[in-house]
Structure 1
Amino acid sequence: MSAMVLGGFLFFSVSIGGAIAWIFSKLFQHTTQGLSLLCGGFLVGLLILDIIPSSVHIYQPFGMILGIFIGYCIFQILDSLLHTSSTQHSSVSLLTLAMIIHTIPISLTVGNLLSNAALSISLTASIILHHVPEGFALSTALIAQGERLWKLFMYFFIFSIFFSVFIWFGQYWVLTNKAQGILMGISIGLIATASVSEFILHHLRAVSVKSFIIYLFLGYLLSYSFHILVE
């Protein structure tokens, strides 16, 4: 199975997540604060339930801790360069960057395994299932900023292209476990700081305490539902 075909499957996967996010945006009637808090709660759940536990089992702690620190520093630098008081487009850019970095170790691993034909079906199923949450999170963030649907698919297309490119690299280049751990840590640091700072704390005083808790809990509950489905 080629890298481009797998990239197409990823595009299909994140599009499913985007469709689910669009349905929820209709239910919330495009409430910016509600969707942002929903996204924040979902991302925190994604980190706690899936990304961090799976990464701890695979990568060395030192590399991950170093990567998280680097990710936090990158967030602070890029946020100061991109952030404006009137919009939150910086949060979407930072989240997109985090998702791309998060994809690199996975893509390289998939590229290393492509020569094993017996793994093709399981790889395809894994790609479809495990990238639906990423599509949901990114789409929720974009819709909360009022982006049009065609821009969602543009982001998904770019995401799938990066995925295909790094799968291709993975066929010829083996990244060390320590380097992959650092990259995963950077992704975790970016996702954590973006979700807490931009999607949660930014709207702390914009809604009532009750609504704040409900939106966050609903986002976490959705993340838990995805976790159960793909487990």
Structure 2
Amino acid sequence: MDKRKGDIMGERAILMVPIITIFMFLGITLGGIFSFLFRFILGMKIERIFVFCGGLLLGLILFELLPESFTQNSWMGIVLGVLAGILSMSITENLLHRNLNVANGSLEYMHSFILLLVAIGIHNLPTGLALGTTMKTEAFSLSSLLAALILHHIPEGMALMGSMAFVESSSVLFVISAVFLAIVLGASIFAGFLIGDHSYKLNTLLFGGAIGTLSFVTFHEILWKAKRKMKFHEFGLYVLLGLLFIYMFLLRIH
């Protein structure tokens, strides 16, 4: 009886993967719409949006990723993953510098956008694996998961759209990127479902990698670059606004 019940739950879980993938896409898209509104409706300058989005990502790391990772995973695995994530981003950045003329303004933002896209993609891997391993359990709740997926990916969608403001055909590229990230999440959920509990060590390393990659992009590609173009007090204000926004946002959804 238990085996049959487990098989039924497994079949339902497989059917849920495309639904979850779609809702993740909606979350990123909604974030992109908010970023668009901030820029064109509220008239925020691109540098301010860039710093605000950097504050969002910094808050996501400080208030969400770090506490969650160290309470649920081995600290040694997290540290190794963080170092691997930073190293991988450094290598990726060097490769992009060789192939892009970042002195060009639009290509500089494209450079940051590509690194952010890679970082969010890596961030989706441990999230998907963790979801996949829990989909067979009775504690799994689809309705709460879908709401969480939409809400958690809004800041990432805002940051993505904010980093590509000067890129031609930004709307098309944003949609393609959102589809790509949703597919990465869906594939990692399916992988986690197949691997089961054996994915713990891998998931720990990937959680660390997610923190390392997002931290590198947040500090080096977004905040540091924007700091050179803004006055210190203005820069600090928009970082603080991003931190406050994500803190209140996470407080509301938890």
TM over 0.5: yes
- Aligned match for 2:218, one of 192, 195, 201: 195
Identify which range, 64-73 or 76-85, moves more after superposition: 76-85
The residue type paired with residue 63 of structure 2 is L
Residues 110/99 of structure 1: CA separation in 2 closer, same or farther (3 Å cut): same
Superposition TM-score, scaled by structure 2 size: 0.83
5+ residue gaps, structure 1: none
Aligned to 1:224: 247
Q: Point out the structure with max Rg over C-alpha.
A: 2
Determine whether 1:66 maps to 2:68: no
Segment drifting more, 106-115 vs 188-197 = 106-115
Select the residue among 143, 154, 165 that pairs with 1:143: 165
CA RMSD between the two structures: 2.0
Identify the residue that residue 131 of structure 1 maps to in structure 2: 153
Native 8 Å contact 2:55 2:243 kept in 1: yes
Q: Is the 8 A contact 2:129 2:199 kept in 1?
A: no
Relative to the length of structure 1, the TM-score reads 0.91
Q: Which of 9, 29, 44 is the matching residue for 2:43?
A: 29
Taking every aligned residue pair, what percent have the same amino acid on both sides?
26
Paired position in structure 2 for 1:120: 142
Q: CA deviation at 1:70?
A: 0.8
**Corresponding letter in the other structure for 1:155:** S
Hey, what does 2:103 align to over in structure 1? Answer: 85
Write the letter of the residue equivalent to 1:79: E
Structure 1 stretch displaced more, 42-51 or 173-182: 173-182
Q: Read off the aligned partner of 2:118 and give its amino acid letter.
A: L
In the alignment, the residues of structure 2 paired with residue 224 and residue 161 of structure 1 have an alpha-carbon distance, to the nearest angstrom, of 28
- Deviation at 1:184? 1.1
Q: Give distance in 2, aligned partners of 1:90 and 1:148.
A: 14
- 2:236 counterpart residue number: 213
1:130-169 Cα shifts (integer Å, max 9, x gaps): 2222222222222365652222111111111111111222
Aligned residue for 1:163?
A: 185
Alpha-carbon shift at residue 54 of structure 1 (Å) = 1.0
RCO (CA 8 Å, sep 6+): is it higher in 1 or 2? 1
Aligned residues: 231
Deviation, 1:30, is 5.8
Deviates more, 1:167-176 or 1:89-98: 167-176
Q: Give the distance between the partners of 1:116 and 1:176, measured in 2 at CA.
A: 16
Contact kept? 1:43, 1:195, Cα under 8 Å: yes
Answer whether contact 2:53 2:155 (CA < 8 A) is retained: no
1:122 CA drift (Å): 2.6
Judged with a 3 Å threshold, the aligned counterparts in structure 2 of structure 1 residues 144 and 37 are, in CA distance, closer, same or farther, namely: farther
8 Å contact kept, 2:109–2:166: no
- Classify 1:184/1:85 alpha carbon distance in 2 versus 1 (closer, same or farther; 3 Å): farther
Q: Which moved more, 1:34-43 or 1:133-142?
A: 133-142
